[in-house]
Every structure is written in structure tokens, then in C-alpha cells.
Structure 1
Amino acid sequence: MLIAGSAGVVLPVVTMPLLASSSPLVVRTRRIADPGDLVALLPAGAEHPVTWLREGDGFVGWGRAAAIHTTGTSRFADAEAWWRDLVDSAVVRAEVSLPGSGLVAVGSFAFSAASPAGGILHVPSTVVGRRDGVSWVTTVSAPAHLPGEVQLRRSAPPSAPVVTGSHDGALTGEQWTEAVAAAVSRIQRGDLDKVVMARDIVIDTGTAIDPRHLLGRLAAAYDNTWTYSVDGLIGATPEMLLRREKGLVTSRILAGTIRRTGDDEHDLALAGSLARSSKDLEEHEYAVRSVADALRPHCSSMNVPESPFVLHLPNVMHLATDVAGVLHEDVSSLDLAASLHPSAAVCGTPTLSARDVIAELEQMDRGRYAGPVGWIDADGDGEWGIALRCGIIESSSRIRLFAGCGIVAGSEPSAELAESEAKLLPMRHALGE
């Protein structure tokens, strides 16, 4: 297989079958000239394509050198144990020491422990990355299958899917607003403070869905979000559940949403109303508190801003807060993700009460929607977002899209339905609807 870059760099690339965790891996990271658009490097028909990009930086990868699928309440812990075993036996040679270089695994995990989607953590056999002006290629293989010399090459542009129809998923729009109204009633009578209600729609196409097309469109249109692809889950999330880097942990919490109009002056006025909205501020406070409470046991000090800022995205605006802490223990980014999941931003508060309401009223399996998605390196550093603004490719011509809204005592069901439609727009636009 030939893979070529503008610099014509010759590098080893290999795609390996699934390896057991006991098999040692040989990992080589080499610095290369800037390859340009990283999504364009994904080969047509690549097996297991992965992506983690923001503002052009991050990495793409393909192939699978090793992987594990976990289920149930131990899905995070089992993946973490497997990863530590893999790291301990790996032989790593790296010319670059930046986040995302060297040995990395990408993964995503189901929102619910009861979901058969479970969790997936896998090591791509080829990764091409860029950060802070430095670019690299990492290849991973077993000792008996050392890669040969190949070139990096930009792939031909992918074809757009032809959308032939869409329909509601588990609930129609009317049924979902009724479920939201039921949730509001329970909140008003004191059963819980907040719950996040999600809905799904199904998009059918007359041609095969090429993940590269969706990823390219998302990365271009929503470059200040994290564009991701893991095991058929594709999206562009604005919410960083956590970043762990050199003993520091940060988290971006989003809760409270208003749709943009495209009129800058009007949008500024809307941003002001969002920042003063008691309903949205209440929803946001629950989300921030849940993240801060989960991180505090792992940190020697923390910074939790008293008030949020308004994050402007192409289609919506969110109330946002960045929480930061100094870790006092050697806890990996994946362990931290497990501690934080599910936050009030995707579940509600109290957590157990919100989970029960979700299971009863949503009437669907979220799968890996609203679960952690991201990557971890050999030192335990990594970045984990929340799988939002996304879809799961169910077949070559079908994708299921998801969107959710935080429900509090002051929520209006019809307004929440409109908000969910705004949150579906990124994936609809990527598909060409």
C-alpha cells in the first residue's frame, strides 16, 4: 500500500489483524513535513478510520493493531487494565514527544452500562498527526510483522452520499415533546432537579456513506469543535469532558443553548439573553457542579469560575465554563473520564434519578451517544470529549443521528424540540440534507 505526502516522505505503514493484549507491539513515530489536510490522508475504504481534529490539528488513523470491546459497569476499568498491559509490553521509538504521538489508543464508551454497545478501545496501526507546527507518522505492528517502506499520499476526494429519506427513531417529535412534558412535571414535583432528554432520527441514503466525506465537512464547518471518528461513531463535539496533560486536568462544560439566526447583531442580543436566562443558568450550574465534584477528589487545587461565558458556534451558542485542576495522584485520562461520566450535562441531577427517568421516557438505547470519546497515550495523558452532535453508521446506507436537551423546571417542550433540531443540523449538513 502506498501513502504519499507533499514531501514524498517514505514511511512504514501496516494494517494488522486484531492482536491479543499479551502480544507486544512495536511502535515507531517519525517526524515528517506538514502533510496538509489530515482528513485527505485517510485512504479510500480504509479499515477502522479514526479521527480527532480541532482547528486542523490532531490526528487521523486507520487499521487496527490491537483492540478490546468491553461491556457493563466495568467497561472503563476493563479497558484501562488492558491498556496498561499493552503499554507495559510495548517497544516505542519516537522522534516526537507531543500529545497524540507515540503509542495511542482511541475509544468510545456507551452512555449506559446496560447498553450492548459497551466500550471500544483500539490502537490504530497507522496514525498521522500534527500539533504546534510539528507533524508525525506513527506505525504500530507486532515484531513478526514489521512494516515495509511506503509513501504518504492524499486520497481522491470522497463522494457525497445521496440522501433518500429520513424518519423519526424511537419517538416521533410529538411523542418526544410529551416525554419532555412528563419530565418537567416530575422535576416540578421535586423528583429530581434536571434530566437530559435525547432523541434520534434515521437517515437513509441511496449510495454508500463515506466517513471521509462527513469528517471533511464537519472539520471544515465546525473547526472550533473536536471532529471525531471511532468505530462508526462520527461527530463534531463542542464539549471537552477532560484533557489530562502533564499533571493538569481541564474540562469544558456546556449547558444552556440558543440557536443562532445568522444576523450578527441579533445573535449578540440573543447571547446576552442566554447569559441572563435563569432557566439556562440553572441548567448550567448543575452541570458545572457535577464535573467539579467528580474531579475534586483527584486534585490538590481547582479553579471553578463563578460565572459562564457564551461560546459561539456556527449554528448555536452555549453557556460554557472551563474548569481546571492540578492532579495529586497518578490517575489516567481514561480513569478520569470514568469518574466524570455521566455528568449532569448529558444525564441530569441527581444522577440515579435522572438515569431512571431517561431509561423510562426516552425509550431508546443511546449506544455510545453522550458517552466519552477520545484517546489516551502511554503516559495516561489524553483527551476525552462527550459524543455529541453525532451519528452512528448502522450500515453502508443508513446512519442514526442523536441530539439531547437539558430539561429543568422552566423548560418548554416545544422550545426543547426546536433546540434538538438545531443540534441535529451539523450532521444533517454534513450528509448534504
Structure 2
Amino acid sequence: MIDIKEGRIESLLKNAVERAKFNNEPQIISITKQINNIDPLHVFESARKFSTNRTFWTSTADDYWLVGAGSVHRITASSDRFDKTEEKWQEILGKAIIHNPFDVPGTGLLAMGGMSFDPKGSKSALWKNFDESSFIIPEFLLTVHNSSSYFTVTVKVHPADEPEKLADSLREKEAVLLSSPDYFPQEVDIQSTEEIAPDEWKQVVQRATEEIRHSTTDKIVLARELRLKLSANVEITAVLNNLISSQPNSFVFAFEREGDCFVGATPERLVKLEQDRLLSTCLAGTAPRGETKAEDDQIAETLLHDEKNRSEHDFVVKMIRQAMEKYCSDVNIPDKPVIYPLRNLQHLYTPVSATLNKDFSIFDIVKELHPTPALGGVPRDTSLEFIRKYENVDRGWYGAPIGWLDSSRNGEFAVGIRSGLIRGNEVSLFAGCGVVKDSNPEAEYEETKIKFKPMMSVLGG
């Protein structure tokens, strides 16, 4: 990684062009500056004027926002996804010119993206624009951290590029991004819904309970799909705006690939890394919210003492502990969970913190944690084998790691749940539940209906 001193953008680009000529290959340069505060949603909406590869990420509880526009470079991998993505990322960092005077997570050179739930799982044309692993280095990046805003321009220069012309082009795009959009998107209405093979799904749940009773498998997580048709093409910015206002304590995200967009509001952090300090969270065990505070408190108390949900939660805590102890020191886990309230649902919640050892990266932790027992099952291998054989749903990026990482050893990944894939005026929503030996297919079906609600509510349902 090469840091350079402050200077005008032309001189910074000239430096990069000279390096590209010397090495006879394209050169990535990243330049970060602080700017006046601006609405991240406005930047995301303005970016549609020149890009079909936009990215949005926010943790509203932390006042943290990322908006990516365009694509300078895409890191993809189909096999050994975690190791190869990390290897390619480190190769890029080793050659990049990074001008970033700010010690702020998510500034400087950054990659945003995700992976499919299972590269060996059922496949369809639904997710054709989403690779098994795909991380984009955006051309333009807005970072909002503790109410301060930063703007990063990343460009891949070539030996024949002219710095002045390149700088003018970047300024023109920056002006578009940082100005208010011509209009703010309007909401649409749901015209029709289609449950994909609900009866067959219940039969698979029943088969899973029998499998668990007669084998060493403890739990199998099964997902299903609900398809919506809308009155017009879905406006992603409007969906994000609704999710931000209606789903506090969540990670609101959008990953756009050639116009198709995976969007949602997940409450489940997989892992957060700041320098060497690591935070993971166990969020397993689900119940609805009550109509009154008394009812809500009663449901929460029941959830805290429910044998099935506590067992499901303990599976995840145990797995996270094992993963952390393999790569970290100073692992700290509370003795019992607390309630994590969302608008439509409440969950059992346990935070896990640790110090990541120097020889490892965030991808080592993501690889170890995915899929968690809350999304795959226990044991992992046998539950995944059952899912591949019987689930018959192309999960794509649903339930998979999504997030970002920067050039200063910071990053954050969440689990892509409470989500949907938007394609024009059609949306595929996904929801799952953990099946154990005493699970009732009808009850599990009703649980998935509850989990569809956050996305349904922001799409006009």
C-alpha cells in the first residue's frame, strides 16, 4: 500500500498515470476528502443517472452510512471463495495508491459485496446477475460516520490517460452525485402475490423432523420464497427510505447488479472488525411483538424461557465461541441472552467480542461462521446436505454474508435475511425457520409468514 501527500487531484492522477506507464499496467488510485453533510439517499438516487451497480449500507443505530456508485474493479470467485477473495483483495492493496488522511472506518479504498448462501445449492436464472462471490470497488463512495461525511473517488488509470481530462470527468460525476436528485421516487403497490409450493415446503419440514429424529442431525433451517408483482418498477431508493424509518436496530442494505437489486433490513450482524477488535452477535430465537406493552413484555418473557428457541440460540452461541477461539484472543460472551426488539419481531440476542490475531483477516471469521446454525443447521455439513437435496429454492444471496471491508483492516458483514431480490416490477422475498425434532410444519409455515412482513410492509403490503 502506497500513501502519498496532499495535492491537487490532477497531480495525484498524474502520479498514478506515471506509475501505470512504468509498470505497463492499469493503476488503481483512491482519493478521500471530507465534504459537507448530504443525505445518503440523495446520493444513491443520483447515482442511477450513470450506474446500474449501486451499493447502500447503513447501521442507523450507529449513525453509519456507506453509498457506493459505479464499479472500478470487481473481485469474483466461484470456488474457495473466502480465501481467493482475500488473496485478490490483498493483491489490490499491495499495488494501489491510497490518499486518505482520515482514520475513519469505511474511507479510503473499499470493497462492498457478498456471496451466495451455498455454491453447491439449487440454481436458477433468478440470481443470474449475482456471482457466487462478488465485491465491487466503487468509483465513488460516500461515508457518513459520527455525523461527518467523507467522499472517496477511486479510479483505474491507464498509461495513455490524460490526468486533466480524467479529473474533469470525475468532477462532473461528483457534481451529479452531490446535488439533490431531480425527484424523489414514489412508492408502488403490490398487485399480486404467489407462494412458491407452500404445501411441498411443509412436506419438506415434516421430512426434516423425521430426519432429525432418526439421525445425529439436531436442526435443519429451511427457506421458502414468496413472489410479488408490483404496479410499476420498484424504486429502490423509496424502499430503502421506508426500511430506514420502519426497521430500527437493523442493517439496511442494497446491492445492485446490472439493475437487479438485493435489498433488505437484517438485524443479524455476522462480524464487525475495527483494526483488531472483533464483534459478532448471536440472533436466534424469534417471536412477534405484542399489541400492548404488557402483551409485548409477556411474549418476551415467554421467548426467554422457551425451550425450542433457547436451544436454537445456544446452538449459535456455541458455534460462534468455537470460531472465535480458533482465530482470536480475549473472547468475551455473556452468560445468557437478552431481548432484541424490532418493529415486527423480537429475538434472543447475545453479543460476542474478541481480539483478532494479527495473522488472520475478517474473511477467516466469515468463513468460519457461515452458515450459522440460525441459517443452515446443526451439524453444518449434514444440514446443508439435506437442504441441497430437498429444499428446491435458489437462495442466492439470501442468508449469506454481505458487507464491506476497507484498506485499514476495518469491515463489517451481516447475514442477508429479511430481504428480497428486486427485478423490475417483480420481487422475490425469502424467509426461513429452524426445524428441530418436534417442529410442527404448520407452525413453521406461520413463522415464515411473520418474517415476510418487514419487506411486505415497505412494498405496499
TM (normalized to structure 1)? 0.90
Match of 1:392 among 396, 399, 421: 421
1:282-361 correspondence to structure 2 within 5 Å: 282-361=311-390
Displacement after TM superposition at 1:52 (Å): 0.9
1:265-288 C-alpha deviation (Å, 9 max, x unpaired): 101100000000011000111111
* Match status 1:48 vs 2:74: no
1:158-307 correspondence to structure 2 within 5 Å: 158-169=185-196, 171-172=197-198, 174-231=199-256, 232-307=261-336
Displacement after TM superposition at 1:89 (Å): 1.3
Question: Which residue of structure 2 aligns with residue 85 of structure 1?
Answer: 91
CA RMSD of aligned residues (A): 1.8
3-state secondary structure, aligned to 1:329? coil
Displacement after TM superposition at 1:334 (Å): 2.5
Displacement after TM superposition at 1:246 (Å): 1.6
* Match status 1:118 vs 2:121: no
Name the count of aligned residue pairs. Answer: 409
1:356-386 C-alpha deviation (Å, 9 max, x unpaired): 1111221112111111000011133200000
Question: In structure 2, how many angstroms separate the alpha carbons of the residues matched to 1:379 and 1:165?
Answer: 46
Match of 1:401 among 429, 445, 457: 429
Question: In structure 2, how many angstroms separate the alpha carbons of the residues matched to 1:403 and 1:69?
Answer: 26
1:26-63 C-alpha deviation (Å, 9 max, x unpaired): 1111111221x312221353421111102142211211
Question: In structure 1, how many angstroms separate the alpha carbons of the residues matched to 2:149 and 2:433?
Answer: 38
Question: In structure 1, how many angstroms separate the alpha carbons of the residues matched to 2:120 and 2:213?
Answer: 28
Question: Which residue of structure 2 aligns with residue 4 of structure 1?
Answer: none
3-state secondary structure, aligned to 1:175? helix
Displacement after TM superposition at 1:189 (Å): 2.6
Question: In structure 2, how many angstroms separate the alpha carbons of the residues matched to 1:335 and 1:190?
Answer: 30
Residues 288 and 450, structure 2, Cα contact 8 Å, conserved in 1: yes
Q: Which amino acid is 2:300 matched to?
A: A
Residues 54 and 219, structure 1, Cα contact 8 Å, conserved in 2: no
Match of 2:171 among 134, 143, 148: 148
* Match status 1:432 vs 2:460: yes
Question: In structure 1, how many angstroms separate the alpha carbons of the residues matched to 2:156 and 2:215?
Answer: 57
3-state secondary structure, aligned to 2:248? coil
1:248-296 C-alpha deviation (Å, 9 max, x unpaired): 1110111110011332210110000000001100011111111221221
Change (3 A) 1:23 1:81: farther
Question: Which residue of structure 1 aligns with residue 451 of structure 2?
Answer: 423
Change (3 A) 1:23 1:425: farther
Question: Which residue of structure 1 aligns with residue 22 of structure 2?
Answer: none
1:97-116 correspondence to structure 2 within 5 Å: 97-115=103-121
Question: Which residue of structure 2 aligns with residue 17 of structure 1?
Answer: none
Q: Which amino acid is 1:123 matched to?
A: I
Residues 275 and 409, structure 2, Cα contact 8 Å, conserved in 1: no
Judging by fraction of residues, say which structure has more helix.
2
Match of 2:73 among 61, 66, 79: 66
Displacement after TM superposition at 1:230 (Å): 1.4
Question: In structure 2, how many angstroms separate the alpha carbons of the residues matched to 1:79 and 1:67?
Answer: 10
1:230-254 C-alpha deviation (Å, 9 max, x unpaired): 1321111100000011211110111
Question: In structure 1, how many angstroms separate the alpha carbons of the residues matched to 2:40 and 2:294?
Answer: 35
Residues 219 and 379, structure 2, Cα contact 8 Å, conserved in 1: yes
Residues 298 and 329, structure 1, Cα contact 8 Å, conserved in 2: no
3-state secondary structure, aligned to 2:71? coil
1:112-168 C-alpha deviation (Å, 9 max, x unpaired): 122564111111111112111221111111233442254311222112233221102
Gaps of 5+ in 2: 1-8, 11-24, 124-130
Question: In structure 1, how many angstroms separate the alpha carbons of the residues matched to 2:29 and 2:132?
Answer: 28
User: Which of these two proteins has the greater Rg computed from alpha carbons?
Assistant: 2
Q: Which amino acid is 1:413 matched to?
A: P
Q: Identity, % of aligned pairs? A: 27
1:52-100 C-alpha deviation (Å, 9 max, x unpaired): 102142211211111123213x122222222111111111112422111
Displacement after TM superposition at 1:323 (Å): 0.8
Question: In structure 2, how many angstroms separate the alpha carbons of the residues matched to 1:258 and 1:62?
Answer: 37
Question: In structure 2, how many angstroms separate the alpha carbons of the residues matched to 1:288 and 1:126?
Answer: 38
